[in-house]
């Protein structure tokens, strides 16, 4: 790409954000609901400062709690969905048993499970499981509530599993047979043929699952009883009319989501580089 082409693309990409800033500025003039841009920038410029007007921790701390919750649920989803997806992709019986349920569960919004998860897990966390009544002393560990992790897991599990299944199903029989003839057993076929062959689809599933996990966390944190996190900060800022914190949280959510997607995109490029480019 030439420098000129790069600059043109950069300029074109900057049009929507600039338009949004203009609309925002116009809407904020004289408004008590829409905060001014400088007020939000002030919040973003001091991410470690606890909001003086809110019953919430700092923006950075909220972001950290949200990230930890997503990482826990997402890691759990990846660890369970990839093996199950590979099984469904390679075993006719497993597919007949699991595929209909997975396809049905996929279309249920994970947000619908939030009340159920709160009923099942209550306020328990790794800290309450390990330290009981002393859990409150272990701040971050206590914020990673099982209910929220379960909802993230549910949200990310199905796209990862279904993509892994499709990837495993798409592995060519000729590749598996060439390894078998060279002496590969089941484990070697899995490690050397099925996993790398399905890797692009698995990473696509991780990317979709990661996006869903990040959206779901905000919804889950807005629910009552889940202290901490960016969703909680938005809900509290709304309830206490400190809208600049709500806006700042939304910007941070967007930035983290973009970074997460960028990382997974890099992983996708890395595992797919053997695929010939479309011409």
Q: Which of 140, 111, 108 is nearest to 127 (CA)?
A: 140
Nearest approach, Cβ of 136 to another protein (angstroms)?
A: 49
Nearest approach, Cβ of 186 to another protein (angstroms)?
A: 11
* Of residues 193 and 268, the one with the C-beta less far from another protein: 193
| Residues in 71-90 that interact with another protein by CB under 8 A | none
* Of residues 180 and 215, the one with the C-beta less far from another protein: 180
**Is residue 193 at the binding interface for another protein, with CB under 8 A as the rule?**
yes
Q: Which of 38, 105, 69, 14 is nearest to 248 (CA)?
A: 38
Nearest approach, Cβ of 206 to another protein (angstroms)?
A: 17
Torsion over CA: 243, 212, 62, 19 (sign): negative
DSSP 57: -
Nearest approach, Cβ of 94 to another protein (angstroms)?
A: 22
* Of residues 159 and 197, the one with the C-beta less far from another protein: 197
Quick one: which of 16, 274, 278, 279 contacts another protein (CB under 8 A)?
274
Quick one: which of 155, 197, 205, 228 contacts another protein (CB under 8 A)?
197
* Of residues 196 and 257, the one with the C-beta less far from another protein: 196
* Of residues 149 and 194, the one with the C-beta less far from another protein: 194
Quick one: which of 47, 196, 211, 257 contacts another protein (CB under 8 A)?
196
* Of residues 48 and 274, the one with the C-beta less far from another protein: 274
Q: What are phi and psi of 3, to 5 degrees?
A: -60, -40
Nearest approach, Cβ of 193 to another protein (angstroms)?
A: 7
Contacts of 243-246 with CB under 8 Å at 24 or more apart are 243/33, 243/34, 243/35, 244/35, 244/36, 244/39, 244/40, 244/42, 244/43, 245/43, 245/51, 245/54, 245/56, 245/59
| Residues in 148-187 that interact with another protein by CB under 8 A | 172, 174-175, 177-184
Angle between helices 114-121 and 146-169 (to 10 degrees): 120
Region of residue 46 (left: phi > 0; alpha: psi -120 to 50; beta: else): beta
Q: How far apart are alpha carbons 30 and 245 in whole angstroms?
A: 18
Interface contacts to another protein, rule CB under 8 A:
172, 174-175, 177-184, 188, 192-193, 196-197, 199, 274-276
């Amino acid at each position: 790409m030439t420098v000129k082409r790069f600059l043109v693309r950069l300029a074109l990409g900057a049009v929507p954000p600039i338009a949004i800033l203009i609309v925002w500025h116009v809407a904020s003039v004289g408004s008590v609901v829409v905060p001014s841009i400088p007020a939000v920038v002030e919040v973003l410029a001091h991410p470690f400062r606890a909001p003086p007007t809110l019953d919430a921790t700092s923006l950075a701390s909220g972001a950290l709690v949200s990230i930890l919750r997503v990482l826990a649920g997402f890691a759990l989803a990846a660890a369970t969905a990839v093996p199950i997806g590979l099984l469904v992709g390679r075993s006719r019986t497993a597919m007949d048993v699991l595929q209909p349920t997975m396809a049905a569960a996929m279309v249920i919004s994970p947000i619908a499970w939030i009340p159920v998860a709160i009923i099942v897990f209550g306020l328990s966390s790794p800290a309450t499981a390990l330290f009981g009544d002393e859990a409150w002393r272990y701040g971050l560990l206590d914020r990673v509530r099982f209910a929220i992790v379960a909802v993230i897991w549910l949200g990310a599990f199905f796209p990862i599993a279904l993509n892994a299944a499709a990837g495993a199903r798409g592995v060519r029989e000729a590749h598996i047979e060439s390894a078998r003839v060279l002496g590969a057993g089941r484990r070697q076929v899995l490690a050397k043929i099925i996993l790398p062959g399905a890797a692009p689809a698995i990473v696509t599933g991780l990317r979709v699952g990661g996006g869903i996990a990040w959206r779901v966390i905000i919804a889950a944190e807005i629910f009552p009883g889940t202290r901490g996190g960016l969703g909680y900060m938005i809900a509290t800022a709304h309830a206490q009319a400190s809208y600049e914190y709500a806006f700042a949280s939304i910007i941070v959510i967007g930035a983290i989501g973009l970074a997460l997607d960028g990382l997974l995109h890099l992983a996708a490029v890395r595992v797919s580089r053997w695929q010939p480019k479309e011409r």
